[in-house]
Amino acid sequence: APGMADIYHDLEQSPRPSRSNVDPFYAVKEFVISSVNLPGLICAFRELQNDVRLLTSDRESLVEIASRDDEPTDAELNRAARAVKSRCKRIEQQVKDLSRTIDQVEKQRSRFPNIDDK
């Protein structure tokens, strides 16, 4: 697994993607990297990835509990359902944060001349 030094090197040394004039992802990435500290951004991205994985696991647990042959207790079902709901809310907040970043890019359009408006 690459270490933090490798990640920094890759971000600093890799050429700009040629798709940057079509795909706003790269412009957003540049904006976020320039306005947010990079370790925090990497941590937030990994946290989002981890939460999506955990949501899948939470959902599988809920389905497993609900489909057991022995009758699961209401407490077991409620606990599993709350875990799924809580994880969804957390992911929704992370997506809202990304939306705010996109909004900032749109409001400061002049900072991103490489994005094609078509």
Domain boundaries, the chain: 4-111
Per-residue pLDDT of the chain (118 residues; tens, 9 = 90+): 444 444 444 444 444 444 444 455 665 666 555 554 445 556 777 888 899 999 999 999 999 999 998 988 999 999 999 999 999 999 999 888 877 766 776 787 777 666 566 6
Q: How many residues does the chain have?
A: 118
Which residue type does 63 have?
A: V
65 contacts: CB under 8 Å, gap ≥ 6: 72, 76, 77, 80
Residue ranges in the chain assigned as alpha helix (H):
4-13, 24-35, 38-66, 74-107
Spacing of C-alpha 22 from chain mean position: 21
